[in-house]
Structure 1
């Protein structure tokens, strides 16, 4: 198992600062966020992120990103792409970029629920079966194109999408080649929606379990009740050691399953300064992996 950081969670650093800092701290790899974003000051996770690589002009940035990653001694745990499965042009570009970088795997996002707003778009109102059937057709195409490029396209388990759970992702990918499509299991996202017992979920995914994201979250009671007078809770991101998800139990389940791939951290908490946060997370993950009986620093490079 090896550890990397997703640059969505390092908004204060330029790409050069990100690789130099993470390499000095002892991380094994980096997962680049690639998407067009709005500008913002100060830098934020989702807007104005200095470590973001824009999708516009991506091909012109590949040499720089590949060079600084290699020169730092870091490996690619994958690419954090945002191209949606029904946008075939952008998916094709992301698959080609992943192959060019030697990054092996890239996230391809699924469709938001018909009841969910997403980005600047409001809810579509499209029924779930229609969305699911459409995405299945898209991923049949994605699997073929990923095979063409010799890479793997990853479906992330994400709240408010058609693949919030391991069960839904397995159903979406069933019968497609697990050499070229797989699933990102995400500890933090599943605390919000889609939670299934860890080990059975890994067993259900089987060969489709391709990648792990680790962050944490808590549910916080709001001051005002709803119209019926009942309590209302909202989710917030939390540090790895203070969220509701047990990283230790998560790692124990990964050990029992025999997982030996990448674990990528995307910590969106802000209690600690960024450099202190990333250094502390690496130390915590290494200690916790050892307690869980996981071998680190082997198996995926």
Structure 2
């Protein structure tokens, strides 16, 4: 497996800083965040993120994205796009930029599950994804669907229904360990086996559930918050063991949204932990190192 970082999780750094620091720490790849975002007084994950490339004017930035990535020695693990499946013009732009960069694969965003009747949303999105897959085939790239809470594909089962019958060379699924703690959790190995050739990419972060105030009748309201890789509820070792057992040997992309450690310490520790966990998991899965 090879390890990369999604730059949504590195908001304090410029693209040049992100590429240089991640390469110096030993990461092998980078997944650039591409979206138009709101300004913010301080850099944040979702607004004012300095390591984000704007969608507006993306075509003009492609040479600079390529240069920064190439000169750092990092590879593209993919492109973190936010164009929704029904935004055909911007999906096409993202696919074209991915092809020009040689980045191979790009995320296409799913509609929220609360944005309409689920059955109608699902049927319409199936048509949109079929269209995106056809365009990706023309360009020699792959459109990716992420398992994400509060969207129409929170689970492997839902994503499989969406892509089943489409060409897995040009449409695939991002399995996301942390998101599934919030919604959509299924046994990892079973999920990988269900997805089969559609398992194209992996995101790793961690989450914990936190008890809120207890109401007068004794009801406890819970909420989730991002946690460090080491402290969240998802079992990273077991996850890697399932990936090994399935035979996955592709990219594993970190997107840690916890803030307990300073950013540079956080990314350094994440790489150390992911490598340690991946090595430990080999014995769990009965896999011999090569």
**2:95 aligned with 1:105:** no
2:265 — aligned with what? 276
- Following TM superposition, by how much is the alpha carbon of 1:292 offset from its aligned partner in structure 2, in angstroms? 1.2
CA distance in 2, matches of 1:180, 1:228: 52
**2:58 aligned with 1:69:** no
- Following TM superposition, by how much is the alpha carbon of 1:182 offset from its aligned partner in structure 2, in angstroms? 0.2
TM-score normalised by the chain length of structure 2: 0.96
**2:252 aligned with 1:263:** yes
1:238 — aligned with what? 227
Please list, as runs of the form range in 1=range in 2, the aligned pairs for 1:144-293 lying within 5 A after superposition. 144-225=134-215, 229-293=218-282
- Following TM superposition, by how much is the alpha carbon of 1:230 offset from its aligned partner in structure 2, in angstroms? 1.3
- Following TM superposition, by how much is the alpha carbon of 1:111 offset from its aligned partner in structure 2, in angstroms? 1.1
- Following TM superposition, by how much is the alpha carbon of 1:224 offset from its aligned partner in structure 2, in angstroms? 4.5
Q: Deviations over 1:72-130 (max 9, x none)?
A: 1000000000000000000000000000000000000111112xxxxxxxxx3x21101
- Following TM superposition, by how much is the alpha carbon of 1:42 offset from its aligned partner in structure 2, in angstroms? 1.0
- Following TM superposition, by how much is the alpha carbon of 1:295 offset from its aligned partner in structure 2, in angstroms? 8.1
**CA 1:295–1:154 in 2, change beyond 3 Å: closer, same or farther?**
farther
CA distance in 1, matches of 2:228, 2:202: 17
- Following TM superposition, by how much is the alpha carbon of 1:223 offset from its aligned partner in structure 2, in angstroms? 1.7
CA distance in 2, matches of 1:16, 1:247: 30
1:129 is matched with which residue: 104, 119, 131? 119
CA distance in 2, matches of 1:206, 1:4: 22
CA distance in 1, matches of 2:231, 2:288: 24
TM-score normalised by the chain length of structure 1: 0.93
- C-alpha RMSD over aligned residues: 1.3
SS at 2:4 equivalent: strand
CA distance in 2, matches of 1:42, 1:295: 46
CA distance in 2, matches of 1:276, 1:140: 41
Contact 1:289/1:295, CA 8 A, preserved across alignment: no
Structure 1 stretches of 4+ with a deviation exceeding 2 A read: none
- Following TM superposition, by how much is the alpha carbon of 1:229 offset from its aligned partner in structure 2, in angstroms? 4.5
- Following TM superposition, by how much is the alpha carbon of 1:41 offset from its aligned partner in structure 2, in angstroms? 1.7
- Following TM superposition, by how much is the alpha carbon of 1:43 offset from its aligned partner in structure 2, in angstroms? 0.3
1:60 — aligned with what? 60
Aligned length: 286
Contact 1:173/1:181, CA 8 A, preserved across alignment: yes
SS at 2:17 equivalent: helix
CA distance in 1, matches of 2:199, 2:113: 23
**2:16 aligned with 1:27:** no
SS at 2:186 equivalent: coil
CA distance in 1, matches of 2:270, 2:69: 21
